[in-house]
Amino acid sequence: MSHQRYIESHLTPNTAITDEICPAGEPWSKVIQHGQIFRIVDLAGNQAVDTLFLMRINR
């Protein structure tokens, strides 16, 4: 039996650059700048999140 350890976030939602809800099964994309924090929250408590991060290279 595994025990999950939850850690309370010290981030404050009122300082977020964006706060969006993506409907289940829908795509979402956004450019995240260097130093920004990206957080995914499962609102329903029973979803898996498929995530792909790409690094943008300026040329």
Domain boundaries, the chain: 1-59
The pLDDT score that the predictor gives to residue 42 is 83
Query: What's the pTM?
Result: 0.61
Q: Measured between alpha carbons, how far is 49 from 16 in angstroms, rounded to an integer?
A: 21
The pLDDT score that the predictor gives to residue 45 is 79
Q: Measured between alpha carbons, how far is 37 from 44 in angstroms, rounded to an integer?
A: 22
Low-confidence ranges of the chain (pLDDT < 70): 1, 59
The pLDDT score that the predictor gives to residue 1 is 62
